[in-house]
Structure 1
Amino acid sequence: MATPSRKSSTPGTVASKRALPRDPSSEVPSKRKSSAPPAPPPPPPLPSSRPFVEGSIVRIVMENFLTYDICEVSPGPHLNMIIGANGTGKSSIVCAICLGLAGKPAFMGRADKVGFFVKRGCSKGMVEIELFRTSGNLIITREIDVAKNQSSWFINKKSTTQKVVEEQVAALNIQVGNLCQFLPQDKVGEFAKLSKIELLEATEKSIGPPEMHRYHCELKNFREKEKQLETSCKEKTEYLEKMIQRNERYKQDVERFYERKRHLDLIEMLEAKRPWVEYENVRQEYEEVKLARDRVKEEVRKLKEGQIPMTRRIEEIERQRHTLEARIKEKATDIKETSQKCKQKQDIIERKDKQIEELQQALTVKQNEEHDRQRRISNTRKMIEDLQNELKTTENCENLQPQIDAITNDLRRVQDEKALCEGEVIDKRGEKESLEKERKSVGDNIVRFDNLMNQKEDKLRQRYRDTYDAVLWLRNNRDKFKQRVCEPIMLTINMKDNKNAKYIENHISSNDLRAFVFESQEDMEIFLKEAIQTKAKNISTFCFRPYGFFSYLRELFDAPDPVMSFLCCHYHIHEVPVGTERTRERIERVIQETRLKQMYTAEEKYVVKTSFYSNKVISSNTSLKVAQFLTVTVDLEQRRHLEEQLKEINRKLQAVEAGLIALCERNKHLEHKDNELRQKKKELLERKTKKRQLEQKISSKLGSLKLMEQDTCNLEEEERKASTKIKEINVQKAKLVTELTNFVKICTSLHIQKVDLILQNTTVISEKNKLESDYMAASSQLRITEQHFIELDESRQRLLQKCKELMKRARQVCNLGAEQTVPQEYQTQVPTIPNGHNSSPPMAFQDLPNTLDEIDALLTEERSRASCFTGLNPTVVEEYTKREEEIEQLTEELKIKKVELDKYRENISQVKERWLNPLKELVEKINEKFSNFFSSMQCAGEVDLHTENEEDYDKYGIRIRVKFRSSTQLHELTPHHQSGGERSVSTMLYLMALQELNRCPFRVVDEINQGMDPINERRVFEMVVNTACKENTSQYFFITPKLLQNLPYSEKMTVLFVYNGPHMLEPNRWNLKAFQRRRRRITFTQPSQ
């Protein structure tokens, strides 16, 4: 929720005031930049006669700094207690001291950039601090540029650098980064987190002599150098001993080296002979392969000569086969031509047979037609006779016309009634279809309403299953309630416009949206067992349209009366208007003029409250959440109207269906009567026209008989013609059969000749196949032999090349050139080598083995013997000599290191005595005062110098142990063991213990009394006053937002009240002397101390 800022644009002010009247010149009022001219430049620094210690703060000026426009503070020389409400600017003074004395921004724990400390909306800020010096006050000015995040420094109004400022501040022993001297509000908790080592260093810097911390640092450096020298001496001593021991061992290694060399020389001789033996073995293998290659070459020649006769015979048989195949093709052609002629004759004979069959079929057809004509003539004569007999017996039908006319009239009347009935049936069916369509439309609308309601119920079930189960239970148990019970509000509310749902859901809590509403308290007790009585309030008229409001929440939705009454009572929906974007643009005017407590704009909710203290109007606004439940609208009244409409439609539909059934029954009766009259009329008409029909039939049959008698046929003549044609065709057919027989004989003779030729050709092919098989076998043998020859030749070439390589390698091993002759003492014969040139293999190494196996066995043996002499090489004697020289050099270096180590130990002993004894005395004094402070509070505490190893000077630290309850033991002060108030008390008492011993000019403690119980806070305050107000003590700044009643005060205290707000006096109206005169007129009673 957004609320107006506690700090308005009006800057804060600070007024300084003493507990008792003092010199008015020390009172400096604060200024407000908004209505006052720029502050005049401060007077030049002058030596002060007041009891300030060297480096104390005399004056602080802030301009556009944090909460201040312009403010000047004049602290006292002893205890300065700065009081003010939270947020008024107390800690701003602390920040000004830190930054004005070249402190780091990050140390304050607020921001890491100095520009963030300039007042918002200003481009530059300034802090000026005046420090007391006996030789003349020191004025340090720091101007801050927000855009560049940089500072400009001035000392006594002269430009300087930050480094010079830091040197001047350090010269006065001011350490704003030391928590023992400067403890800002955001660093109070970190004091307890200081390790023992960090606390010791901070204490040394704060109250120890200037040389104490320097001695401590020297001790740590000396000790570190001592450790390095000790390590170096130890390493060199160990290395020297190892070198001496190794040289003792090397005496035996030198002797073993020469023995190993004898074995290596023998190995070299064996390795030199081995290539010659390998060469001789390969040369002999080469000669064997060459002989085998020549034998295979001769075998190949013989196989090629044996294949020539077979090739000639195969070619001769192939020519015979071609001749026979040509004759077989000629016979096949002749057979084909003769077969074709046979086929043609056979086709002609078949056509003749077909002609005979067609003549016989035509004759049969004519015979059947004649027999059928005679039968039809006989049947027609019989039918004419039957019709004439019936005609004689037929009565006269002229007296039937009156009966036919009467039936015609009755039939016309029945048809008219039937048409009228059918029209009524069509009307009823049309009415039924219309009602059914209307019923379906109404039913669809009801289903649509049910679906919308189901959507709301589904959302309720998904979010609040227990409420959904209660709704189901209510629907099944409504008979248990006496009066109306409304389901959850989210189900009963129906938005008039879904886009306004967000206002209702943001205004009514989710718990009440799923609440049930009862009209009877007894019903409510049955359901929920708790009483909630709701009464609706009157709805006020809407009169805020000029501000952009368009409606009250009450008018945005419909709901049952109990629900609406409940919402008006508990959520005042009749008093909360809803506005538009125009409302948000005029929100300040709306808040001031309408005095509304709640209102809505297009996307925000505003709540307006009035302060009980200052009658100020405070507003807060929140963004509207998206609606989840009320976006689905169900018009229940419309649904009830649709259900009533559906019942009426069903009633009408039943009446229409009953009428339609009656009309259908009547129509069925008229249909039956119509059929009866039609049948009677048909029978009368048939009786009236029967005689005329008989006469027409007799006349027709006589005409047909005459035509049949005229259509006659001569069967004998037709049979004679058919017989003559068949005989002619048979004569032609006999001639064709004779010709066909001759062609068949010729074709048979040709087939016999072709078979004889095929047998001859088969014999020739069989002989050819046998010869080709023999030829392929011989060729396969030839290929195998040729492949063997190629392999042997390749092996010969490979062995020849290998002989050359082995010869080359053997010469290289013996250091002989390619054309150099082997010396006479190393050879016994001059053989011919495979390349055709004469060469002399060496015959040296007569005492060595002559086979590879024997040479390899001897090599393995000698190598094994040589390998026993591990770690030896030709430089072992040289290394032995060099190591002797290195031993002498290391011995001399070790003497020098020991002398230097003794010197450092002497320095450590001297510095330790100058550092440790004063430090122990200092810690003892701190412990004495710290323990006294705790004893006065009926608690226990002690401070001691703690270290685990006396020689580890970087591990020394100050340990604080406290006990706040008599039933417990002393425990070390840690961030976790003690409570926040206990840590604050311990921190405050430790700083007070340093106060009288402190050589720093001032100390700052910001809101350290936060978390203390009233008893401890009162005791601590008394100690602070007593300690900080003693003579010759450092200046003390104690910042607190609150004070207990009836606290003791001292005349040496300076009380600074920090006021802030829009009702402060303008700087030009501030007159301290006038304020004092006005005060003297008022009776003032001094409170008891």
Structure 2
Amino acid sequence: MPSLSTGNRRRRVPDPESSDEGDDSPAPTNSRVSGASKRARTGQDSSQLSDDGLDQSAMKGIALRRNGNGHSQDGFQPGAITRVKVNNFVTYEDAVFNPGPNLNMVIGPNGTGKSSLVCAICIGLGYGAANLGRAAKFSEFVKHGKDQATIEIELQRKPEDRSNYIIKVRITREGDKRKWWINGSEAPLKNVQQLVRGLGIQVDNLCQFLPQDRVSEFSGLSPVALLHETQRAAAPPEMLTWHDELKDLRKNQKGIQLNLETDEETLRTQEERQEGLRGDVERLQERAQIQEKIALLESSVPFVDYNVKRRHYIECRERAREAKNQLVALEAEFAPTVQAVNNKEEYHRRIDVAVKERKKDLQNSERAADNFFAQVEEANESIKELEQKAKSERDGEQKRKQQYAAIKEKIAALEAQLKNEPPAFDGPEWNAKIRAEEHKCREIEAEQRQVTEKREDLDRQGLDVRARVAEKERELATLNSQQGKNISLLRSISRDAATAWEWIQANRSKFEKDVFGPPLIECRVKDPRYANAIESLFQKNDFMVITAQTSADFKILDEQLLGASNLRLADINLRTVSRSLGQVRSSPMPTHELEKFGLDGWALDYVDGPEPVLSMLCGAVRLDRIAVGLKDLNESQYNALTSSAVSTFVTGRSHYSVQRRREYGPGATSTTTKSIQNARYWTGQPIDTNDKHELEETLKGLRENFDVMKVESGGLKEKLRVLGEQRSTILETIKILKAKKNEAQLIAGRFQALPGKIEREKENFQAVKLVSDNYRARMREIEAQSDELVLKKNALSIDYKALVQGIRTAHLSLQEAKFRLIEAASDVESLKEHSSNITRRVQEERQNYERANEEYKNVKAQAIAVHNQCISILAEGNNKEYFETIDKDLTIEQLEQDIDAEKSKLDYIHDGNPGALREFETRQATIDRLTATITSARAELTSVDASIASLRSRWEPELDKLIASISAAFAHNFEQIGCAGEVGVHKDEDFDLWAIEIRVKFRENETLQQLDQHRQSGGERSVSTIFYLMALQSLARSPFRVVDEINQGMDPRNERMEDEGVVYCEWGAYAEGS
């Protein structure tokens, strides 16, 4: 990003008190050490910075350097940032930044707001927080304790514009809202984004905008992705479009080629198979011709059949006409006799109708008589009901006379009670007595609640004390055990390591395989005599390493112990071991050969522990390659060792390290010797008595406190019992008082109700007397109704008698008609018997006619059906001329003989492969289709090849020119720090595999090597990344570039190289421009 202050180029002197780096030595590839993986944050809270602006404590310790012509607008590209103003944003309350047109470098300790400025640029230009890799919500960037934050960014105008662009955004914490302005006018976010894109600003491109938390992401970009991002940053927009089009065209080309090869191979196979079927096909064609002729003959059957049935139809028609004529003549001859029989049958029919009508009249008369009889019965029932009603009235009068006496006695008794008035009822007095007792009860209940709460609180305290006693007892038991001793020792050395080990033991279910604790706990020295020698090989961090066996387990440990979890431990190391001890161990010689050098064995042979931990120690401490011995060496043994494959050994109280320079000959060796200290950890010494004494004293105090609480709880329990008894007594007293009150109230209420009861009884007496007075009137009414019903019954009886006489008359008439019907039937039967011969002859002739006519109709229907079948066959349009020439006299038998002859021919031609013809035709259609497809595919492939060649001829030269420019700038940057580098393009047949190839050399005796995570250290990769970004700067279409924490992951040497290179390159560019 552009710089903020002037000053001579100088090296930054590392400060051992406030260095941003931890351990200068590079960490192992598969391990993460919290002290070296990321610079430690200062303990200062950003929210506690002074609110007096950038030039006071908020910027204390930040050196702002600007390279160029100060604040002059000269040299600014359109879209470059000329001013950034923030208010209540993250750590800043009010701050204004005025970057220059060239290099701007922001330097300062951790927590002083460098990354906050980067966040302000990203958010202020309309991009999301996801590009920062930090907070997910915009409201989280508002300064702690404030409701709103404001960012204002001024961008250099284009030559045709009058003034610079000023973009302003206000972030509201509540609701996570943003509001935008452009040059003082409110505008939607899409207008801001459109303006930013129009100026060539790509905050979402890591080649242009690289926040601190995404540096590792950029470093991890694949070469293919790096080419894509490079084109976005430095190439014209159409180049990226051309590249995408080439990818699509190549993908389409591969698909067409693959399909074309498949189709051509399929076509060759199909043509070869087609030739093998020709013989079978010719035989099948001859057989098909015969089958076609048989089918034609068989289809001729309906036409021959029609001719036969037509001749039969004409014959039947003539016979039916002749039979009809004979029937008509016979019927005319016997017409008079038949007429007499018909007349008698008509008379019989009319008599039968009369019988039915008279039978119906008889039924109507019977129904009318039944109706009158039902009315007579209904009158009888009504008379009985009135008699029962009269009886009920008499019985009721008798009961009312008895009620008179009862009511009079009750009235007399109530009036006697009214003369004896009970004592007056005083309700308030009774209520006062009850409330007094209830008040006493509430006071006792309140006291009970207080005592209960106090006892429950005491019980809770007791449970807490008991839990603490159990915890301290476990700690004491653990301290007394060997494992406890080790954990106590681990905690005294590193509380972070002890906390991590406790977390692992509590969460073992989360891991795929076993995770092993620090070697201090997991391992021991088999022979205490070798403890001094073994411990001299270990650094302090080596004792604290936690070992995982899978990458997934390592990731869990990294996130939970070192990452953004609640623990965030620092003083621990994590390593991954995936190979067995047998695969890792690489001792220079067998153990027994060491005896001739005066050594006892390899250090690994004297350490006992889990195999994965020992494998880790072989890689970290090289226990398998360091020899140990208890005795000092003589001169001959020492000389022999320095010439052997053993480079490190410990004997007696000395540690030897031999360095050999083979380029100067076998005698070019140097030996470093240092004394070893006494073992501190694997000594088997007793536990710390102070810790044990403190635990025992704490345990004693807790137990005494628990006993006191127990006694106090017992006293509270007894007090609750006494209060409960008192409350029960008061509640019983309240119950008795309420019962007495209710009884007195009931007596008083009953006395007050006596006048009303007397009045109601008197009213009841008058009501009974009134009903009794109306008794005679009701009886006279009942007698009158009864007389009326008797008269009605007599009248109905007379009418019923007349109806019965009518039924008798109708019955006689019906019998007369039945007699006449019998007589008419006899006459008809006699006439029919007399003319039976005539009738039989007519009937036989009629049946003869009907049979002839039925046969005529059937034959006609059959002929019509066959005729329709022939019409359907002719309508199909096949062989019409053949059917029209069929001989009219041909019979079915002759046609069947012709069909049998053709079938005999068919039997001599066998169908060896019945499906050959169908297979031949299907395959021929497939061959035709494949031929057309191949022709089309070849034409399409030719078109695609031409498109690729045309597009590549435009894109590839431009890309080569761009990469050549980047490589020249990249190599020049490396030359300034005494190293070498170049950038090239890996070209592949597939355009989606084209990639950036970066080759670097950091040492004189090296050649240019591919830049990757295996060949270069993290610092060297960071330097290469920065120089690549600088090489892009002169070519980039972007008006500015931002890199946060440019020295992330560098050791002091690489940091100085990068700092000198960046400043030199920028000053050189400025000098050339001046």
TM-score, length-normalised on structure 2? 0.37
Flag the structure with more relative contact order, 1 or 2, with Cα contacts below 8 A and sequence separation at least 6.
1
TM-score, length-normalised on structure 1? 0.37
